[in-house]
């Protein structure tokens, strides 16, 4: 069985994603009767509303199953207070050597990345390039066809 890692906050967000998926599934299921009545007398093939409702229902059921499976494999790691290397749960500030622009990220757990919120899942290409790095070290990351050289400016503890 694969093990996946997350932070305490990441586990909380995983539980929230599962709760949200269950709510969406229940919302779609509650619309089955209305969708069945939206078309002709059949509840299948010639009734687009019903077919779409069924597609969404199966999609949410699959997401719930996948999230439950992942949650059985999640291991919560406690972020280091004063990490010496980039690791899960730490905050890392990097400087793009081409643009000299600094960016800060928290290295988040499995399926917990949200770049807009400043979180990179440890499985993302950028986090993979940074993991294990130390302050002052440069790392190269390939994002699509773009090569970026990032200097690690600061590493601090604490979770998002």
Both tokens of 142, joined, read 């390939």
| Residue 100 belongs to a domain | yes
pLDDT of residue 42: 55
| Claim to verify: residue 121 and residue 64 sit in the same structural domain | no
pLDDT of residue 159: 64
| Residue 60 belongs to a domain | yes
| Residue 84 belongs to a domain | no
Has this prediction a pTM greater than 0.75? yes
Distance CA 97, CA 75 (A): 35
Distance CA 109, CA 113 (A): 7
CATH number at residue 152: 3.10.50.30
| Residue 116 belongs to a domain | yes
| Claim to verify: residue 101 and residue 64 sit in the same structural domain | no
| Residue 20 belongs to a domain | yes
Count structural domains, the chain.
2
User: In the listed set 18, 49, 76, which residue is the last one of a domain according to the structure?
Assistant: 76
Per residue of the chain (160 residues), what is the pLDDT tens digit? 789 999 999 999 999 999 999 999 999 988 887 777 776 655 556 777 888 888 999 999 999 999 999 999 999 999 888 999 999 999 999 999 989 999 999 999 999 999 899 999 999 999 999 999 999 999 999 988 889 999 999 999 866 4
| Claim to verify: residue 10 and residue 66 sit in the same structural domain | yes
| Claim to verify: residue 110 and residue 149 sit in the same structural domain | yes
| Claim to verify: residue 56 and residue 105 sit in the same structural domain | no
Distance CA 68, CA 65 (A): 5
For residue 78, give the H/E element and its range: none
Q: Domain range spanning residue 143?
A: 91-156
CATH number at residue 28: 1.10.287.180
Closest CA relative to residue 121, chosen from 2, 21, 5: 5
């Amino acid at each position: 069985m694969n093990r996946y890692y997350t932070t305490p906050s990441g586990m909380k967000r995983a539980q929230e994603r599962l709760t949200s998926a269950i709510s969406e599934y229940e919302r779609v299921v509650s619309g089955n009767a209305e969708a069945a009545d939206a078309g002709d007398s059949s509840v299948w093939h010639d009734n687009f509303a019903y077919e779409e409702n069924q597609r969404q229902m199966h999609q949410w059921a699959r997401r719930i199953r996948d999230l439950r499976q992942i949650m059985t494999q999640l291991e919560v790691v406690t972020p280091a207070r004063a990490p010496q290397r980039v690791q899960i749960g730490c905050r890392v500030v990097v400087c793009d050597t081409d643009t000299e622009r600094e960016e800060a990220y928290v290295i988040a757990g499995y399926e917990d990345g949200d770049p807009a919120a400043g979180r990179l899942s440890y499985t993302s290409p950028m986090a993979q390039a940074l993991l294990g790095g130390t302050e002052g070290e440069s790392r190269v990351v390939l994002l699509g066809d773009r090569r970026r050289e990032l200097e690690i400016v600061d590493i601090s503890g604490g979770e998002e």
